[in-house]
Amino acid sequence: MAGVELFDVAVAVLLAVLIAGVCRNRGWSSAIPLLAAGVLVGLAPWGPEGLADPEFVLVVVLAPLVFGEGLTSSIVDLRRVSRPIMALAVGLVVFGAVMVGIVAQLVIPGIWVSMAFALGAILGPTDAVAVSATARKAGLPRRLVNVLEGESLVNDGTALTLLRVSSLAAAAGSLSVGQVPVILLTSVLGGLLVGGAAGWLLMRVVRRSRDTTVANAAILLAPLPVYFSAEALRGSGILAVVVAALVVAHGTSSAVTYTGRLQATSLWVTFTFVLQSTAFFLVGLEMPKVLQLMPSSQLRTLLIAIPVVFLTLVAARFVFVYLMAVITRRDLRNPSWLVAAWAGTRGPVSALAAFTVPATTDAGERIPFRELVISVTFGVVLLSLLLAPTVAWLARAVKLPQEDDTAMKRRVRVALARAGLDRLEQIEETGERTDDPIPTDLVDRLRSAAEGRLDHASRVAELGDAPRPSSHRTARQVSVEMMRAEHEELLRLRDREGLPDEIVRELQREIDLRIRTAG
């Protein structure tokens, strides 16, 4: 049976990647086609069947997916907007869970309180991928993008920690008032400690490893051990994964070589693409079985609960974001708060998390309403994804000002080019002092190349058309040293001046590619 299930998973992953690939090539969003394809395959008499242990398989997808989101984030950017992020990622998640829990009890007769609040916790996380895609299309201001992306990363840990408490309450039948804060504190502290230790250990491995393939393999395999280690200590596995990813993301900027960074970027782009595609397809694949297990008497309730819960989420977010704007005394005429309130798309994290709700109590009795909770989550996620493109439309409709990075990029490129020239002068002086001077023609060529980049940067021109350094081994060594100086200057600007991580990553990749080209 294990072999059959493994074959089904392999076929499901292959189908998901093929469908997502077609959508990607045509410029379409792949989420809804993947969900629909999963449902159709789940209904068909042929093809991969539902998973024997969906909770385990979906957690195996969920942990690396959240880890990949964390690797694209920046501690520097998150620190700059930490207050609104924490307000949304903690306050809004709790507020939304309470509101959804109350409404769920009103529209779903007889539902357990623990299951109602589990539904609210499940729908807490927002979709980081949808936020990033919206930001690219709408050209949202960087501060707003940083807040929304930071929220989508941090609220995973908050929401799934609340889900843990609700699931324990459902499995136990009930929890005392005193048990709740203990479970929450244990989950948070355990997640923070395990995640921080795992991130530190990973960076030790990366710094000591001379083989970039081995270092990247360690990072690739880390999410599941981190997750299950935290869970074994009764901590939040998802929170641990998020913390570890942030530590690794910050550390690899300076501890990993240019080849390692390029390799890691390509690796995680591909891996995240596979995980996202698989997540949506597996959720769709499981839905027919979930609906079959759901009592037919709950079908009418389901059709009512989906739109009501969705509207509750929207209303709760609008109220919370509006109150944030009032409390922080922001100009309510600035439409940013309106866009932030509407940008609450739910995605694969919520859909996957729903399957982790226990099916039976500790006494072995079946927990009622589990299938209904999963089905409502599926419907809300579907509605949310259908409306996701309207965020870009709203941003254009309210004429949200787009951010122009031209001046900042020009200033940074000028600073990097000057850092390279300074390093060239240091190398030249060292060579003269040690009676190992660098040939004058070589110095002239390298200086000309760096001054060309400096001139282009000053005129806001694109990099890449500067003269290529000589293929002579010494020329490569010196030019690489100059480019490393640029990289050091870039990190200095990031750490001391708070240069946005989006710009750091773009310019770091340019430097890495130039170093590779020099070889």
Candidate ranges 20-24, 133-137, 265-269, 303-307; pick with highest mean pLDDT: 303-307
For 2-397, CATH number?
1.20.1530.20
Measured CA to CA, the distance from residue 281 to residue 499 in angstroms comes to 38
pLDDT of residue 461: 42
Render pLDDT for 385-424 as a digit per residue (tens, 0 to 9).
998 888 888 888 888 776 666 677 777 878 888 888 888 8
Mean pLDDT of 379-383: 94
pLDDT of residue 200: 92
Q: What percentage of the chain exceeds 70 in pLDDT? A: 84
Domain regions of the chain by residue span: 2-397, 406-518
pLDDT of residue 502: 75
Residue with tokens 């600035």: 334
Q: CA 168, 174, 180: angle at the middle one, nearest 5?
A: 60
From residue 206, alpha-carbon distances to 102, 210, 212, 220 in Å are: 47, 8, 8, 12
- Average pLDDT of the chain is 82
From residue 448, alpha-carbon distances to 387, 440, 490 in Å are: 52, 12, 21
490 band by pLDDT with thresholds 50, 70 and 90: confident
Q: What percentage of the chain exceeds 90 in pLDDT? A: 22
pLDDT at 310 exceeding the cut of 90 = yes
pLDDT at 467 exceeding the cut of 70 = no
Beta pairing partners, 366: 360
474 band by pLDDT with thresholds 50, 70 and 90: low
pLDDT of residue 24: 86
Q: Buried b vs exposed e over 224-258: b needs ≥16 C-beta within 10 Å?
A: eebbbbbbebebbbbbbbbbbbbbbbbbbbebbbb
Select from 490, 486, 511 the least CA-distant residue to 408.
490
